[in-house]
Structure 1
Amino acid sequence: MKRRTLGIVVVVVLLVVAAIGGGLWAFGRLSFLDSYGSQYDYSVRISADEQISNVTILVPLPVANNSSPIGDTVESREYLVPETWTYDVVETQYGPMLRVRADEIPAEPTYHRAVVENDRLVRWEQIPEREYSRNDSDTLRVEHDAVDLNADATVNRSIDTRSPEGAEPLFHPRANSQRVPCEWPREDDETRCYSYDTMLFLQYDGPETTNVSVNVELYGTNSWWVGGWNYNEYSDRIHAYDIPADRQGWVVVDGELQTGAGNYPRNPPQ
């Protein structure tokens, strides 16, 4: 009897453990599916170390199938952008690009005051320096070491972050692509890194000693919550630092593609 009783207890314990384990798995799977999301994030940062005017700059957009849906969603943090800046998507000999134009890009700080309507911040208007106070939270000093433009777009499917070439938006044009050792953040079994050549267009008036820097980045990311936030992603980056004033027009610059960063769950949503 004792042996039989012990056997029954063992079976019951195993069933309870199995039920708890199954419940935890189901709960984790539900949390995984409910929180799973996929998104592209695109950003452009442009800076000059001296004031320039009559500015036109064209930078690559993420392109897939000869179009760039992300270009339609470009948004700017307008209180950081000089009032004379405009941007649009144009067709070039190298495909669709984002065109940024400005009467001038100031190198000196500018000052702004919050405009509030119906208890809501609607914009920041530029003011003279004398009206700015560091103790007044309704006024703002902006250092123009860089100006940012940003866009993001969500998709209702998993992004192919291991092999985005041919499947996901990437910067174009691309030439001389080759695999290189990864430097950021580290290389593991999934991560692959590549270098390539691409194009920017620069045109402006300014001192011959001016240097312009242009940084363009794209991230395609899948993320989810199971015991904490998890993710995998690919990133496409263009970093062109200190382009001298005598290199205007179309300029060849370096691009970097990293794929397979992060961790990969079993059976992700399709």
Structure 2
Amino acid sequence: MKTRTLGIVVVVLLLLVAVVGGGLWAVGRLSFLDSYRSEYDYTVRVSADEPISNVTIFVPLPVHDGTSDVGTVVETREYLKPDSWTYSVVETRHGPMLRIQADEIPAEPTYHRAVIENDRLVRWEQIPVEEYVQNDSETVRVEHDAVEVNADLATNRSIDTKSPERAEPLLNPRSNARAVPCEWPHDADETQCYSYDTMIFVEYDGPETTNLTVTSELRGGNSWWVGGWNFNEYTDRVYVYDLPGDQQGWVVVQGELQTGVGNYPLNPPQ
């Protein structure tokens, strides 16, 4: 009798453990699916160490199947950017690229005062430096040492961050891709690294001693919450540092791709 009772108790306990475990798994799975996000982030930044004018730059753009969905949502977050700064997706002999144009990239900051009408901010007007008041919320100092544009694009499917060459946008143009060793901290078994050749176009007026820096970076990734934030991603980037003033027109530069960065759950949403 005691043995039978003990057996029943053990079975009940096992059932309780199974129910609790199943409930925790279900809650965790629900949290995973509810928090799962997939998106692309694209950032371009152009800067010079001396004032330059009449600037035109073509930079690699995220492209898949000959088109760029990311390019359609490019914007600038410079709320006081000069009106002469423009950006657009254009077709070149190397395929679609992002064109950035600016009348100038000045070395000196500009100063602005808020114009308030009916208790609402309607615009900022430029003022002389003498009228700028530090720590006054109605006047601001703006550094114009770079032109920067960004794009964020969410997708309703899981992004393939291990093999983006097959199904995801990558910076284009690209050629002569080759595998290279990954550097710490991205040297895990899942991570693969590649180098490739790409093109930028540079044209501006400025001193011959000018050094230009151009960065174009795409991140495609998935993130979710289960006991903390988790993620995986691929990163495609082109960094051109200190390009001398005598290198203008089409210039061959290096790009790098990292895939399989982060952690990978079982049964991610498709």
TM-score normalised per structure 1: 0.95
Aligned partners of 2:239 and 2:40: how far apart in 1?
19
- 1:102-113 matches, cutoff 5 A: 102-113=102-113
For 1:201, the equivalent position in structure 2 comes to 201
Give 1:51-200 correspondences, 5 Å limit: 51-79=51-79, 81-115=81-115, 124-183=124-183, 185-200=185-200
Hey, what's the Cα distance between the residues in 1 that align with 2:118 and 2:21? 53
Query: What amino acid is the match of 1:231?
Result: F
Amino acid of the residue matched to residue 251 of structure 1? V
Amino acid at match of 1:59: V
- 1:157-176 Cα offsets, whole Å, 9 max, x none, are 01110000131100111122
Change (3 A) 1:43 1:121: farther
Kept after mapping to 2: 8 A contact 1:158/1:269 = yes
Q: Deviations over 1:53-90 (max 9, x none)?
A: 11111111100000111111001113253332011111
With normalisation by structure 2, the TM-score equals 0.95
Q: 1:202 to 1:184 in 2, by over 3 A?
A: farther
Q: Counterpart amino acid of 2:149? A: L
Give the superposition deviation at 1:116. 5.5
Q: Who is 1:19 aligned against?
A: 19
Residues 33 and 49 from structure 1, CA distance in 2 versus in 1: closer, same or farther, beyond 3 angstroms? same
The answer to whether the Cα contact below 8 Å between 2:106 and 2:145 also exists between their aligned partners in 1 is: no
**Where does structure 2 lack aligned partners over 5 or more consecutive residues?**
none
The superposition leaves residues 164-191 of structure 1 with CA deviations (integer Å, 9 ceiling, x where unpaired) of 0131100111122111111253211100
Q: Matches of 1:213 and 1:71 in 2, distance apart? A: 21
Matched residues in 1 for 2:67 and 2:21: separation? 47
SS at match of 2:130: helix
CA offset at residue 133 of structure 1? 1.9
CA-to-partner distance for each residue in 1:13-72, whole Å, 9 max, x for gaps? 111111000000000111111111110000001101111111111111100000111111
Amino acid at match of 2:190: E
- Asked whether the 8 Å contact 2:78–2:148 carries over to 1, the reply is no
**CA offset digits 1:68-115 (Å, max 9, x no partner):** 111110011132533320111110001111111111110112223345
2:256 matches 1:256: yes
| Identity percentage of aligned residues | 73
Contact 1:79–1:124 (CA<8 Å) still a contact in 2? no
Aligned-residue CA RMSD in angstroms? 1.7
- Contact 1:81 1:148 (C-alpha < 8 Å) held by counterparts: no
Contact 2:105 2:147 in 1 (8 A): no
